[in-house]
């Protein structure tokens, strides 16, 4: 068996290097518990502060509860029982501070409507559709009849050929025609237009 004594370290040096390694390990492990200890101290002190802040609130509530318990147990016959307030009850109606209702009760407003210069000497009619086929015009007439209004299908001939127009009216004023048109728009018929019928 051959041994290599040249590369071998002396025993005392090997023990010294092992001791240095173990002291390094011990030194690094001694720093590790410092962080958890600090964290534990902070948490405990925070919990203590929390308990200190809520300490006064329990002392304030305890006399009120004890006084209520004593009054109900000792004075049941001498004192009338007070009914608890309903948490869903509405607050009392506030007093009205406004005076405009009394001030405006007997007032009137005069509005001057300027004359636009257009004199309508005729009646108004509303056209809701114009079709090449009479059957399509009759379908729209039926839809309008279901809304409670009466429409007519009028045939007209022109340079573009024969057209079947769906017409409502006559209306005495344009405002009456507008009311009918709004009713059509609510039903989904948005093609109605009002014309002055002469």
Inform me whether the pLDDT recorded for 73 exceeds 90.
Answer: no
pTM for the full predicted model: 0.39
Q: Which residue has the higher pLDDT, 138 or 21?
A: 138
For residues 88 and 92, what is the distance between their CA atoms, to the nearest angstrom? 13
Torsion of the alpha carbons at 70, 72, 77 and 81, rounded to the nearest 10? 140
- The answer, yes or no, to whether residue 162 has pLDDT greater than 90, is yes
> What percent of the chain shows pLDDT beyond 90?
28
Mean pLDDT of the chain: 77
Portion of the chain with pLDDT greater than 70, in percent: 65
* Choice between 38 and 93, residue whose per-residue pLDDT is larger: 38
Give the whole-angstrom CA distance, residue 61 versus residue 67: 10
**Between 137 and 4, where is the model more confident?**
137
The pLDDT assigned to 77 comes to: 53
Give domain 123-197's CATH architecture. Answer: 2-Layer Sandwich (3.30)
What are the φ and ψ backbone dihedral angles of 30, each rounded to 5 degrees?
-75, -25
Lowest mean pLDDT among 41-50, 91-100, 188-197: 91-100
* Pair of tokens at residue 111: 């509005």
> 125 and 171 in contact (C-beta within 8 Å)?
yes
Dig out the tokens for 156 from the structure. 């007209």
Closest CA to 173 of 115, 116, 122, 118: 122
Distance CA 154, CA 137 (A): 9
- Tens of pLDDT, residue by residue over 100-141, are 777 888 888 788 776 655 555 568 999 999 999 999 999 999
**Higher confidence at residue 77 or residue 155?**
155
| Cross-strand partners of 121 | none
79-90 residue pLDDT tens: 566 667 788 888
CB atoms within 10 A of CB 165: 17
Strand ordering across the sheet containing 193-197: 151-158, 161-171, 123-131, 193-197
Gap between the Cα atoms of 182 and 179, Å rounded: 5
Mean pLDDT score, 64-72: 55
Residue 65 reports pLDDT greater than 60: no
Per-residue pLDDT band at 63 (split at 50, 70, 90): low
CA 5 centroid distance within chain? 89
- The answer to whether the beta carbons of residues 72 and 84 sit under 8 Å apart is no
């Amino acid at each position: 068996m051959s041994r290599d004594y040249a590369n071998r370290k002396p025993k005392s040096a090997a023990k010294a290097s092992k001791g240095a390694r173990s002291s390094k390990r011990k030194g690094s492990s001694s720093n590790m518990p410092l962080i958890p200890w600090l964290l534990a101290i902070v948490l405990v002190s925070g919990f203590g502060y929390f308990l200190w802040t809520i300490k006064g609130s329990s002392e304030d509530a305890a006399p009120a509860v004890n006084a209520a318990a004593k009054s109900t147990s000792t004075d049941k016959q001498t004192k009338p029982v007070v009914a608890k307030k309903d948490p869903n009850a509405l607050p009392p109606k506030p007093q009205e501070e406004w005076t405009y209702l009394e001030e405006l009760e007997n007032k009137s407003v005069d509005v001057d409507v300027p004359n636009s210069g257009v004199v309508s000497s005729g009646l108004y009619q509303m056209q809701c559709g114009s079709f090449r086929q009479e059957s399509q015009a009759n379908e729209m007439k039926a839809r309008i009849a279901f809304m409670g209004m009466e429409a007519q299908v009028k045939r007209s001939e022109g340079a573009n050929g024969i057209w079947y127009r769906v017409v409502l009216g006559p209306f005495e004023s344009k405002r009456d025609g507008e009311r009918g048109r709004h009713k059509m728009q609510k039903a989904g018929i948005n093609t109605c237009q009002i014309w002055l019928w002469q």
